[in-house]
Amino acid sequence: MESYHYQHKVNYYETDKMGVTHHSNYTRFMEEARISMLEEMGYGYEKMEAEGVISPVMAITTEFKKTTTYPDVIDIEVKVAELLNFKIKFDYRMKVGEQLVCHATSLHCFLSREGRPIVMADRFPELVGILSEMLITK
């Protein structure tokens, strides 16, 4: 798998007084796409948390290119920008049709419930293999 695609239809309540999708929603869209992707891979947050692994967000970057409105359908392409022992950086390209509307990244670490770093290749080698296939090569 080189990338994962997720679609989100903008809801009326996600827009502001100007009728534009409020910027805070894009972080939610990223999370929806990432969680859906991991669940399809068989490694949803529920499974990882049951095995004692949490994955908090360390950083988010967002570049808005064009506004979206209700009822636009946003195609969110997810790739892996960086994959390290304890961290992963996801890359999100959000489009309406062929128009890029937002480019974003999210950086996550992998920790035990006690807050200790976890080497994902040791804990979930199959998942790391799948994610490696999605790595953006420059």
Give the angle 85-86-89 at the CA atoms, nearest 5°.
95
Query: Containing domain of residue 73, as a range?
Result: 4-131
pLDDT score for 137: 83
DSSP 42-79: T--HHHHHHTTEE--EEEEEEEE-S--BTT-EEEEEEE
Nearest partner of 70 among 19, 6, 33, 25, judged by Cα: 19
Q: Is residue 100 part of a domain?
A: yes
pLDDT digits over 74-96, tens only?
999 999 999 999 999 999 999 99
What percent of the chain lies above the pLDDT cut of 90?
Answer: 98
Q: Is residue 67 part of a domain?
A: yes
The catalytic residues are: 16
Q: Is residue 60 part of a domain?
A: yes
Q: Is residue 59 part of a domain?
A: yes
Q: Is residue 138 part of a domain?
A: no
Total structural domains in the chain?
1
Q: Is residue 63 part of a domain?
A: yes
**What's the CA gap between 52 and 73, in Å, rounded?**
35
Look up the CATH number of the domain holding residue 115: 3.10.129.10
pLDDT score for 138: 57
pLDDT digits over 44-73, tens only?
999 999 999 999 999 999 999 999 999 999
